[in-house]
Amino acid sequence: MSENKNTEHRAQKTDITRRKFLAGLAACASALSLPLNADASMLEEYFRQHFKRLDKDELNTILKNLEKEFSQKYEKAVTVKATPAMEDVLFGYTLDVSRCIGCRKCVYACIKENNQSRNPQIHWIKDLEFKRDEKWFHFKDSEPYYDPPEVPQKGRFYLPVQCQQCKNPPCVKVCPVKATWQEPDGIVVVDYNWCIGCRYCMAACPYEARRFNWGKPDIPKEELNPNMHYLGNRPRPKGVVEKCTWCIQRTREGRYPACIEICPTGARKFGNLLDPESDVRQVLDNFRVFRLKEDLGTNPKFFYFFSLGTHIKAK
Amino acid sequence: MAQFNWYQRILFSVMLCVAAAAVVFVSSGDILAAEGMAQEENILDRPLEEIVGQLAPQNQLTLFPCSDCHNDLPPNPKKRELGEPHNELPGIFKHDAKNRWCLDCHDMRNRDKLRLLNGALVDFKEYYRLCEQCHGRIYREWKVGVHNKITGHWKGEKQYWHCAKCHNPHDPVFKPQKPAPPPRKPTEIYIKTKK
């Protein structure tokens, strides 16, 4: 016990001195690399701590600064929150493949809600079309660019894929700088200020759920969603990775994600896995469900199922 | 320390076994009783209003109350083309049309009510009891929110959708839609817009 404390203490001590040293070094370097007109907030951003080590005041100042920056840039009142996870909540998601018609309404609701870049284009949700009579489950056998006049098409079914919020997320494991991690409510988040853009996480993700900002993101001012979360839909800089957070800015306040609200078929369900009465538990307790690439042991909290059997339809 | 002879020992162990069995029996009885309770509390048996919390607003009926006209009209159960104001309905009617007609669901004498197969009349706002008769499994899934669309709050107030919002009772096939545009291919992910 006391042993433990000692080492912890020592670690802290060395950490502080190392941090001071690094800060000093960085200060020298930054004197050269920072633009001459750098103001306090730029310096702050330069020396910012990891999100999890920020204290309340530091975090509040950061949020206030971001609000100011975005409000100015997008010419509307913006709020940036960092609402923490609720207690006794573990989020889960279910999707009824037999009722999804592949209309892609979720894709576009997500773009708007989460301030995704329109150009270069970033889509967090990818809707895959499969042929009924072929082997499936291999993303490469699917057609993500389908564009018939009407959906659903005969003999096809649709499988929307977004971040599966794995309980054992490979993306978190490979991040060399701990810029992505799993929150207590199960959402895997990215701190865009900490991400160095190495894209290891994208290579590690078996679901192709992460996106990289190759260019400067472009969000039309009038379409910006001003309700933001630090770990979610705040506008991202160029050169960082982003992905679905189950609309952390909505769900941490008790609301449904945007994809749930928009889905015209009701195929999507979201809720607390620990609450036996939740929408997702109604599915898990009554249907046989499956997860994508289950054999990889990623343990996703995103479940798929078929509520309607495969059968000969009327007409 | 008291000494026991062999038959006292046997008797004692038998008694122990019986006591243990009784404990197991009683407690398993408890479990069964508890299960019975759980069954009584089955979510499906609760009143619909309680389960679906709040149903989203229903379709606004344009012709209600039907009795405005039908009080003065002689009912006519014959399957036929209909004139104003229902001239479109027989054309779109595709709900097992071979075997059915309007008055299987709408009451012949009281047009303001729907009619169940057993002859019982229900209000339009309880139209889903009609669907329940033939689509029992889906109705149950609807009740617990699976074959349903729930909006609002996962924690807090929810709104459940009506069958009739997604399925027109006269032509219930879920209507196909035009899909939103596909994503750009990686080769054209960046479209230069200016110069």
ipTM of the complex: 0.82
In the predicted structure, residue B194 carries a pLDDT above the cut 80: no
Cβ-defined contacts of A53-59 (< 8 Å, 24+): A59/A230
Q: Is the domain of A2 the same as that of A133?
A: no
Pair (A139, A239) in one structural domain: yes
Answer yes or no: do A103 and B179 touch at CB < 8 A. Answer: yes
Q: Provide mean pLDDT across the span A240-255.
A: 97
Question: In the structure encoding, which two tokens stand for residue B6, read together?
Answer: 């062999």
Would the CB atoms of A103 and B177 count as touching at under 8 Å?
Answer: yes
The answer to whether residues A95 and A232 belong to one domain is yes
Residue B195 has a pLDDT of 46
What is the pLDDT of chain B when averaged over all its residues?
78
The verdict on residue A154 lying in a domain is yes
Q: What percent of chain A has pLDDT over 70?
A: 83
B36 pLDDT higher than 70: no
- In terms of Cβ atoms closer than 10 Å to its own Cβ (0-12, 13-18, 19+), residue A33 is exposed
Res. A201 pLDDT band, cuts 50 70 90: very high
Is A186 part of any domain?
yes
| A184 to chain B, closest Cα gap in Å | 17
Whichever domain contains A291, its CATH number is 3.30.70.20
Higher pLDDT, A264 or B5: A264
Write out pLDDT tens, residues B100-129: 999 999 999 999 999 999 999 999 888 999
Over 50: is that where the pLDDT of B38 sits?
no
**Alpha-carbon distance values, B43 to A39, B16, B40, B143, B144 (Å):** 60, 42, 9, 9, 8
Determine, yes or no, domain membership for A72: no
Same structural domain for residues A35 and A95? no
**pLDDT score at A17:** 53
Domain contains A97:
yes
Query: Would you say residue B136 has pLDDT above 70?
Result: yes
Q: Does A288 touch chain B (CB under 8 A)?
A: no
Q: Which domain holds residue A5?
A: 1-40
> For residue A11, is pLDDT > 50?
no
Q: Give a yes or no: residue A263 inside a domain.
A: yes
CB pairs under 8 A between A and B: 112
What's the pLDDT tens digit per position in A96-141? 999 999 999 999 999 999 999 998 999 999 999 998 776 666 888 8
Are residues A132 and A216 located together in one domain of the fold?
Answer: yes
Residues A4 and A137 occupy one common structural domain: no
Across the interface, whether the CB atoms of B161 and A266 are under 8 A apart is answered yes
A 154-213 near B (Cβ less than 8 A): none
Question: Is the CB of residue A109 less than 8 Å from the CB of residue A123?
Answer: no
Residues A157 and A247 in one domain: yes
Specify whether the backbone of A239 is left (phi greater than 0), alpha (psi in -120 to 50) or beta: left
Judge if A190 and A304 occupy the same domain.
yes
Q: Are residues A295 and A176 in the same domain?
A: yes
Q: Is residue A28 part of a domain?
A: yes
A145 shares a domain with A15? no
Question: CB A146 to CB B155 under 8 A?
Answer: no
B187 phi/psi in degrees, rounded to 5: -70, -20
- Statement: residue A275 has pLDDT above 70: yes
**Cβ of residue A248 closer than 8 Å to a chain B Cβ:** no
Residue A68 domain flag: no
Instruction: Specify whether A36 is located in the same domain as A121.
Output: no
pTM of the model: 0.85
For A138-175, what is each residue's pLDDT tens digit?
A: 888 899 999 999 999 988 999 999 999 999 999 999 99
**Which chain A residue lies closest to B153 (C-alpha atoms)?**
A255
Between chains, do B182 and A144 touch, taking CB under 8 Å as contact?
Answer: yes
Within-domain flag for A127: yes
Residues of B with CB under 8 A from a CB of A: 43, 94, 141, 144-156, 161, 166, 173-174, 176-185, 189-191, 193
- CB < 8 Å to A102, chain B: 179
State whether A96 and A206 are in the same domain.
yes
Contacts 24+ apart (CB under 8 A), B73-76: B75/B103, B75/B108, B75/B109, B75/B111
Count how many domains chain A has.
2
Which residues are paired to A189 by β-bridges? A181
Task: Return the structure tokens found at B80.
Answer: 């036929």
- In whole angstroms, give the CA distance from residue B41 to residue B27: 21
Average pLDDT of chain A is 88
